[in-house]
A and B are shown apart, each in its own frame.
Chain A
Amino acid sequence: MFFRLYKYSIFQSVRCKLVLFWNVIFPVVLGTLFQMTFGGYVEEQVIFRRIPVAYASEQEDGAFGQLLKGLEEDSELVKVQTAEYKKARQLLKEGNVEGVFCEEPDTGDVTLIVAEQGVNQTILNSILKQYQRAKATFSNIGRENPAGIQAAAVRLEEERRYLKAGSVTEASMDCLLDGFYSLIAMTCLMGATSGLSAATDFKADATSLAARRAVAGASRMSMLLPDLAAKITMQFLYAAFSICYLSFVLGVELGEHGGLMFLTALVGSALGIMIGFLVGVVGKYSYGVKEGLCIGFMLVSSFFSGLMFQSMARIVEMYAPALNQVNPATLIAKSLYSLNIYDNLGPYFHCMGNMVVLILVLGMASFLLVRRERYAAV
C-alpha cells in the first residue's frame, strides 16, 4: 500500500501547475536574474586587469613616462596611452582610462587626475608616490652617503620580489555566491507549501479528502507516511533541478562536492516539508492564512540567509549567532558554503546535524499534535 499511495501522491504533485511554477519556474527566473545582475561581478570588479591610463606631457620622453613604459612592459600593471592634456581628460571623462598622469616638462612634477576613488585609482596613486619616494631616497642618499648612489640605482632597477604570495583556497571567494546558496535554500523551503497540503489532506476537519481518509479502514499514519515521502522526493527533485540549472546552464561555481550538495538538498527539502506540515496541523486557521504564514516564513528565513542582501548571514553571525544555528535557510546555505570554502567537512556536518535535529523536533511536535486525534463530526 505504501508504494501505491506514494506513486499517486507523486502524480498529484506533478499535476499541480502552481507547485511546478513555484518550484521550477520561480528559481529559474530568480537564478537567471541573479546571474544577470551580479554574475560578472568578480570578473569585472574584483579580479585585477591592467589599468588603462593616459600620459599627458609636452615632453616626448619624460622621466615618469619612462617609468610607466617600464611598468607596462615588465610588470603588465598598466596600459599606457599617450595623449594631449585635453584629449587625456576626455578619455578619462568617457571612462576609457582610469587615470591621467600629467608631467610638467619644466619641473618634472607629476599630477594624477582621477574620476573616482577606487582600488585601481589607489594603485595609480601608489605608482606616483613610489616615483616621488625614489626621488626623495636618492636625495637622502646623495646627502648622507653619496658613494652609495650607484648601488642604490642598481637596486632600484633590479627586479626583486620580497613577498611569497600564497592563496587561502582554490575555491571561488565570491561572496555573491551567498545569493545562489540562499536561492537553493529557498527552493528547499518552498516544500513548506507541499507539507501544508499534506497536513490539510490529513486533518479531517480541513478537507473532504482527509475526511474520507479518516473513515477508511487503513491507519491514518500509514497513509500519511507515503504522502510525506512523496512530497520530500518531489521537493528534492525540484531542488536538484535548481542546483543543476545554476551549475550547468548558468555556469555558477557552486562547489565540487556534487553528491554532498544533493544530500543537502534532500535534507533541506525534508526540513521544508516538515515546517509546512507543522504549520498545517497547528490551530484551525484557514488554508490561506497558513499558506501566507509558510510563504512569509520562507521569505524571512531566506532573507536572513542572504537572499536579498548577500552578507546578511555574516551580519547575523556577528550580532545573533544563535539565530544562524536554527534558521533553516541559513543552515542549508551554510552547508553548501562549507562544502565550497572549507577544506574539512566538520562545519558541513555540523549544519547537517542541526537540520536533522530540527526535522526530528518538528516531526515530534507534529506527531504530538495529531496523535490520537478523533472527530465526533466533520
Chain B
Amino acid sequence: MQLFKVFFKILNKNKGQLIMYTAIYLSLTLLMSGVMKEQAEEEFTGISLEIALENRDQGELGAALEEYLGESHKIKEIPEGTEALKDAIYYGEIDYVLVIPEDFSEKFAAGDRERLLDGTAVPGSSSSYLAEYDMESFLKTADMYLSAGFEMKDAGDFAMEDMKEKGKVEFLNQEKGPSFSRGYYFFHFIPYVFVTMMILGVGVVIKTFQNKDLSARNKCSAVPYLQQSLQILLGCLVYMLAVFAVFMVMAGCNTGNYLFTAQGILSAINALLFAVCALCVSWFAVQFADNTAVLNAMSNVFGLGFSFLGGVFVPLDVMGETSRKIARFVPSYWYVIANEEIQKVSGFSEAGAIYKSYLAVVMFSLAFFSAGLLANRMKMRGR
C-alpha cells in the first residue's frame, strides 16, 4: 500500500491550505445556513406587504384607513431621510410608502377626493399594485357611503365593517407546503463545499502522480499498474469519506436530531452521492490543469458555476425558465431538487422522486468519470 500512503503524505504536505479552505467553507456554510433560515422564516409568514405609513390626519377616515391596512399588512414607520428610505425599498424591506396628509378627512368629506394621498413605490411593481388596489377599494367604499348621505364617522365605521368580508379561496392541491427544517439549509450549500474540497484535495495529489517523470518511474516499478491505480482510487475514496464524515459531524452538531430521522438519512445519502460526483468532477478537472494554480482556478469555476447554475446560491424560483432548463445539465440542480423533495416526505417509501434525483447525480458522476478517462487516455497517447 505504498501509493496509498504516499497519497496521504502529499495531502499532508498541502494540509495548511486544505485546513484553511475547510475552515473558510465550513464557516461560510454555517453562516449562510443560519442567514437563509432566518430569511425564509420571515418570508413564509404570509404575503402581507410592508407598508411604511405616516398618518398626519387628525380625522376619523385617516385612522380608519391606517387600521384597515394594519389588518392585512405590516405597518412600519417611514425611515428618516431619503437615503434610508431608498435603502429600505431597494432591499425589499418596504413595499409601499404612504403619507396621509393633515386635512385628509376634511377634504374627503368636502368632496375633494381625487389624488389626496401620497403613495411612493417601485414603479410598476406587483406589490405596489396590490397596495394601491387595497387602499383604493377601502376609499371607494367610504366614498360610496358618503355619496349615499352617511356621516363621515358612520362611513368610516361601515367601510371598516365591510372590509371584514372575506373571499372564498381554495388551493388547487390541498397539500400543505413544506416547512424547511434547519437540516435543509445546512445541506443546501454542500455542493459548493464538496466540489471545491475535492478538486483542491484529490486534484493536487492526482496532479502529482500525473507528473511525467514520476508517472514513468512508477510504471516501471515492481507494483503492477492496476494495483497502483487501485491504491490511488482507494486514497481518493478514503479522502472523500473523510470530508463527508467531517460534514456529517458538523451537520449533527448543527441540526440536532435531524440526521437520525428518515429525512436526515436521505439528506446524508444525497450528500454522499454528491461527494462521489464531486470526486468524479475533480478527476475530470485535473486532466485539464497544468499546475496547482490552475486547479485552484478550476475549483472556483466548477464550485461557483455549479452553485449559481444549480440553484445553490440563487433559489430555483428566482431563476427564469431558460436558466432552469440549462440548470438540468449540472449535477447540483438534481442535488438541490432532492434536498427540497426530502423536506416533503416522512418515510423512505414516499421518496420516489428523490431516488430519481439520486439516479441523475449518479449518472452525472459516471459521465464526468468517463469524460475524465477519455481525456486522460488522449493525454497519454499525446505523450
Chain A residues packing against B (C-beta within 8 Å): 18, 21-22, 26, 29-30, 33-34, 36-41, 44-48, 77, 89, 92-93, 109-123, 125-137, 140-141, 144-145, 147-149, 151-152, 154-156, 160-169, 173, 175-176, 288-289, 291-293, 295-296, 299-300, 303, 308-309, 311-312, 314-315, 337, 341-343, 347
For the complex, is B210 an interface residue (Cβ under 8 Å from A)? Answer: no
For residue B135, give the distance in angstroms from its CB to the closest CB of chain A.
6
Cα distance A27–B317 in the bound complex, in angstroms: 24
Kindly name the residue among B46, B308, B326 whose own CB sees the greatest number of chain A CB atoms within 10 A. B308
Neighbour of A151 across the interface among B147, B307, B322, B323, CB < 8 A: B147
Cα distance A229–B279 in the bound complex, in angstroms: 42
- B104-124 interface code vs A (CB 8 A; 1 in, 0 out): 000000000111111111111
B78-124 residues with Cβ-Cβ distance < 8 A to A are 82-83, 85-87, 89-92, 97, 113-124
For the complex, is B134 an interface residue (Cβ under 8 Å from A)? Answer: yes
- Total A-B Cβ pairs within 8 A: 267
A-B residue pairs in contact (CB < 8 Å), sample of 11: A45-B318, A93-B172, A115-B171, A131-B167, A148-B150, A162-B115, A165-B128, A165-B132, A292-B16, A309-B313, A343-B82
Across-interface contacts of A33 in B (CB, < 8 A): 304-305, 308-309
Across-interface contacts of A165 in B (CB, < 8 A): 119-121, 123, 128, 132
Query: By DSSP majority rule, is chain B's interface helix, strand, loop, or mixed?
Result: helix
B308 pairs with A37, CB closer than 8 A: yes
Across-interface contacts of B136 in A (CB, < 8 A): 161-163
Known: A162-B135, A292-B20. A137 touches B141 (CB 8 A): yes
B163 pairs with A37, CB closer than 8 A: no
- A-B interface, 10 closest residue pairs, ranked by CB to CB distance from nearest: A148-B148, A128-B167, A164-B115, A132-B165, A152-B144, A162-B139, A152-B148, A155-B147, A119-B126, A151-B147
Across-interface contacts of B116 in A (CB, < 8 A): 162-164
B147 pairs with A154, CB closer than 8 A: yes
B146-173 residues with Cβ-Cβ distance < 8 A to A are 147-150, 158-159, 161-163, 165-173
Chain B residues packing against A (C-beta within 8 Å): 14, 16-17, 20-21, 24, 28, 32, 35-36, 39, 46-47, 82-83, 85-87, 89-92, 97, 113-130, 132-137, 139-141, 143-145, 147-150, 158-159, 161-163, 165-173, 177, 292-294, 296-297, 300-301, 304-305, 307-309, 313-314, 318-320, 322-323, 326
Across-interface contacts of A309 in B (CB, < 8 A): 32, 35-36, 313
Kindly name the residue among A109, A133, A311, A312 whose own CB sees the greatest number of chain B CB atoms within 10 A. A133
